[in-house]
């Protein structure tokens, strides 16, 4: 939906692994690639069939790399991208982060980053999350195997990838999230269902962050509006649209291209047995909105086209409601995200209203980053909004 080369949104969820030839010579970015016989590789559906993982490699949870003097070989970890924190819209600028060595609570140091990637370990049923740092030293070639599809929407929030031969974890970000590193580019995987769920944790201690994966939720649309974003790219999924309107930071995209920067902002509720009903406010996502459109929005499309009094707004609203109903009745929605219980200032003391003492927040905040149908829905195409009516306006 995002581009001609990407697969259909609802059809990429439960695909069987394609039958691949034993040898498939190919060039990517005009660079000849060495191929590997399929029977000698791990049976995973990679985005690039020529970048497969050798069969001798073993999938492990990332926390096994936190053991002191870890000496594991021929291993890989599988992650899902949850969030991108970008220092600046300029590739020449950096920001700083604080970290400490594992086991040392008080000895903090600082270093610089261009992008911080929050990732969910898909081998950890406890929802363990990690940071991957990118700057001009660390992971500067992280997308080398996927550069031709990095900026067209195939790689974005919610993308699954493998990290081969990661280094032992000995560094913790200041908010106690481990930092994982590798000297090798990522191997990006096609979307596939998880063999288990990662439930939301309502009992998190302060400053603990955990990811979650929930299937079969019932979605309710409360309202939506049309916004013009500061980014027209796909890598960031235009999720930081609210933050970028107030903060002088980058969205995370490497290149934006000539695309519409229009984004729809949704207020939703999601209901399931566990944890019940959660609110998803100010949610923006190109992937999610494209589930309701049959093509790309025109570059010149403006907020006024979808003003609340327009016919296009009413027609689009009907499409949203109909497709949400179809998916709700056809297996529900899968949610990916992360949860955290923060700290707040203790203002309970009347004698010390300016106290900087911190106490645990009463509530855990759940951040939903990707929403898509749990099961394949066959007849969504006929209910999508016809974007061709917007061309020539």
**% of the chain surpassing 90 pLDDT:** 46
Q: What angle do CA 231, 233, 237 make, to 5 degrees?
A: 90
The DSSP secondary-structure symbol of 104 reads -
Cβ atoms of 123 and 60 within 8 Å: the answer is yes
For 276-312, the pLDDT digits (tens) are 899 999 999 999 999 999 999 999 888 999 999 999 9
Contact 317, 223 (CB under 8 A): no
pTM reported for the whole predicted model:
0.83
Q: What is the DSSP letter of 207?
A: T
Q: What is the pLDDT of residue 343?
A: 58
Beta bridge partners of 178: 172
| Cα–Cα nearest to 249, from 81, 83, 93, 82 | 93
Question: Residue 378: what pLDDT?
Answer: 85
Mean pLDDT of 21-29: 40
Q: Running DSSP on this structure, what letter comes out for residue 254?
A: S
Q: What is the DSSP letter of 17?
A: P
What would the mean pLDDT of 169-196 be, rounded to a whole number? 88
At residue 96, the 3 state secondary structure works out as strand
Nearest to 262 by CA among 231, 283, 292, 222: 231
pLDDT of the residue at 92: 65
Assess contact for 237 and 286: CB atoms under 8 A.
Answer: yes
- Rg of the chain, C-alpha, whole Å: 22
Give the pLDDT score at 21.
Answer: 35
d(CA 42, CA 40): 7
DSSP-based three-state secondary structure for 163:
strand
**Cα–Cα dist 300/362, whole Å:** 45
Which of 120-124, 137-141, 161-165, 381-385 has the lowest average pLDDT?
Answer: 137-141
3-state secondary structure of 371: strand
**CB atoms closer than 10 angstroms to residue 340:** 19
DSSP string, 48-66: STTS--BTT-EE--GGGGG
Q: pLDDT band for 115, please (50, 70, 90 cuts).
A: very high
Average pLDDT, the chain: 82
What is the separation of C-alpha 170 from the centre of its chain, rounded to a whole number of angstroms? 25
**pLDDT tens string 65-107:** 987 666 778 999 999 999 999 887 666 678 888 988 877 666 7
| Residue 325: partners with Cβ closer than 8 Å, 6 or more residues away | none
Q: Which residues partner with 198 through β-bridges?
A: 213
What whole-number distance in Å separates Cα of residue 266 and Cα of residue 284? 6
C-beta separation of 213 from 230 below 8 A: no
Q: Where are the domains of the chain?
A: 9-189, 209-390
Asked whether 332 and 392 are in contact (CB, 8 A), the reply is no
Could you tell me how many residues make up the chain? 393
Pair type for strands 75-86 and 58-59: parallel
For 123-155, how does the pLDDT look when each residue is reduced to its tens digit (9 = 90+)?
A: 999 999 999 999 988 998 898 888 878 898 889
Q: Residue 145 has what DSSP assignment?
A: G
Q: Give the model confidence (pLDDT) of 204-216 as tens digits.
A: 888 789 999 999 9
């Amino acid at each position: 939906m995002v581009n001609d080369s990407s697969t259909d949104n609802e059809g990429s969820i439960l695909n069987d692994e394609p039958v691949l030839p034993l040898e498939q010579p190919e060039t990517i970015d005009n660079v000849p690639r060495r191929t590997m016989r399929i029977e000698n590789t791990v049976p995973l559906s990679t985005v690039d069939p020529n970048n497969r993982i050798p069969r001798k490699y073993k999938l492990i949870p990332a926390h096994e790399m936190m053991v002191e003097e870890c000496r594991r070989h021929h291993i890989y970890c599988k992650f899902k991208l949850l969030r991108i924190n970008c220092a600046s819209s300029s590739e020449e600028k950096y920001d700083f982060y604080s970290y400490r060595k594992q086991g040392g609570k008080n000895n903090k140091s600082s270093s610089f980053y261009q992008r911080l990637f929050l990732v969910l370990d898909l081998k950890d049923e406890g929802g363990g999350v990690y940071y991957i740092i990118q700057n001009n030293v660390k992971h500067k070639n992280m997308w080398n195997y996927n550069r031709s599809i990095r900026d067209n929407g195939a790689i974005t929030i919610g993308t699954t990838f493998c990290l081969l031969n990661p280094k032992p974890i000995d560094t913790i970000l200041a908010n106690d999230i481990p930092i994982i590193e590798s000297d090798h580019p990522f191997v990006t995987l096609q979307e596939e269902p998880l063999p288990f769920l990662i439930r939301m944790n309502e009992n998190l201690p302060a400053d603990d962050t955990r990811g979650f994966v929930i299937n079969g939720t019932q979605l309710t649309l409360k309202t939506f509006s049309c916004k013009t974003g500061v980014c027209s790219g796909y890598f960031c999924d235009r999720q930081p649209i609210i933050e970028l309107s107030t903060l002088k930071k980058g969205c995370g995209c490497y290149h934006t291209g000539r695309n519409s920067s229009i984004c729809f902002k949704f207020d939703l509720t999601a209901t399931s047995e566990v944890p019940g009903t959660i609110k998803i406010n100010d949610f923006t996502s190109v992937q999610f909105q494209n589930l309701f459109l049959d093509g790309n929005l025109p570059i010149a499309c403006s907020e006024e086209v979808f003003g609340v009094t327009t016919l296009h707004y009413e027609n689009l609203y009907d499409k949203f409601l109909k497709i949400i109903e179809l998916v709700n009745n056809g297996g529900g929605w899968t949610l990916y995200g992360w949860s955290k219980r923060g700290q707040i200032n203790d203002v309970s003391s009347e004698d010390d209203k300016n106290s900087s003492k911190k106490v645990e927040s009463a509530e855990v905040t759940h951040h939903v980053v990707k929403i898509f149908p749990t099961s394949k829905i066959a007849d969504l195409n006929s209910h999508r909004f016809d974007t061709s009516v917007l061309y020539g306006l």
